[in-house]
């Protein structure tokens, strides 16, 4: 199989760095030596495992993309940038016909979906690229659709802990609240408790010190009105390796859609990737 050209955007961010390190050593991919970055980033370049990447700020990307597309006629972008860049990046990708896999959370998600669906550019977009977590979400969605109101009257508490560099509330937690509400909980996503203090994470939660800079621990607790019944769901992820395999599977999935002459769908989620549909 010919190598797939991929452009990893979000360097020098930690998740993008992780993606780049794995991609450089993966025989399935050829990594484009450019990365879209934020306007506030001072560096012009970053080197990862002896591979240099030129960092492209928003005010330069329109002129740079012509050069990049000339050098790499076809490539798939992987987006792990910043929540504030989600919608502008999606617009940039679709306007320049760059298929993309977006694991960045935040932004206006409905607008994001509309932009992709109304374009000629396919994309896989998910607030969580960990396939096992996505599978868990799918199970909860099934429960919500099959047993609506099952937890009517129960109170819900949602607490999520991520590294202190994560600016927004977890998109996965928000999605889970939707399922729990359909199951009968009456919970506002604004009441999700965000934990970002490393001392609290280490001492109160027991998160390993080496993973304070990269983790995702979520706990969802349901309690009956009289306190006699309690249900707790949790998923604790240390490090970022689990997101790499899911992201790369999404790239392979998207590549398959690009070469499928009968495919007209543009917007995909990780459920599509898991179902291979």
117/270 Cα distance (integer angstroms): 16
Residue with tokens 């802990």: 161
Please indicate whether residue 60 is annotated as part of the active site.
Answer: no
DSSP sequence for 220-246: EEEE-TTSS-EEEEEEEEESSHHHHHH
Per the residue annotation, which of 17, 18, 82, 162 is the catalytic one? Answer: 162
Strands 123-125 and 45-48, how do they pair?
Answer: unpaired
**From residue 149, how far is each of 138, 181, 185, 191 by CA, in Å?**
18, 8, 8, 20
What the block records as the tokens of 13 is 């961010």
Contact 208, 198 (CB under 8 A): no
Per the residue annotation, which of 17, 18, 82, 166 is the catalytic one? Answer: 166
Please indicate whether residue 162 is annotated as part of the active site.
Answer: yes
92/112 Cα distance (integer angstroms): 12
> Count of CB atoms within 10 A of residue 209's CB?
9
Residues belonging to the active site: 162, 166
């Amino acid at each position: 199989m010919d190598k797939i050209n991929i452009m990893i955007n979000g360097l020098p961010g930690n998740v993008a760095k992780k993606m780049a390190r794995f991609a450089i050593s993966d025989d399935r991919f050829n990594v484009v030596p450019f990365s879209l970055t934020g306007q506030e980033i001072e560096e012009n370049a970053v080197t990862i495992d002896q591979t240099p990447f030129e960092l492209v700020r928003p005010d330069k990307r329109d002129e740079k993309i012509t050069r990049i597309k000339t050098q790499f006629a076809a490539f798939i972008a992987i987006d792990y940038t910043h929540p504030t860049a989600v919608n502008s990046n999606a617009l940039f990708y679709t306007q320049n016909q760059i298929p993309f896999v977006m694991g960045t959370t935040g932004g206006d998600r409905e607008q994001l979906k509309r932009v992709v669906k109304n374009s000629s550019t396919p994309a896989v977009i998910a607030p969580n690229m960990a396939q096992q977590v996505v599978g868990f979400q799918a199970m909860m969605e099934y429960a919500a659709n099959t047993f609506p109101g099952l937890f009517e009257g129960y109170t819900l508490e949602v607490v999520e802990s991520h590294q202190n560099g994560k600016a927004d509330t977890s998109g996965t937690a928000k999605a889970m609240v939707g399922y729990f509400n359909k199951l009968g909980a009456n919970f506002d996503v604004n009441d999700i408790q965000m934990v970002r203090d490393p001392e609290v994470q280490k001492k109160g939660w027991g998160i390993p010190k080496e993973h304070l800079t990269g983790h995702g621990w979520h706990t969802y607790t349901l309690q009956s009105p009289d306190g006699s019944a309690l249900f707790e769901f949790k998923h604790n992820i240390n490090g970022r390796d689990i997101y790499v395999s899911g992201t790369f599977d999404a790239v392979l999935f998207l590549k398959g859609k690009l070469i499928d002459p009968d495919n007209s769908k543009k917007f995909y989620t990780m459920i599509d990737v898991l179902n291979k549909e």
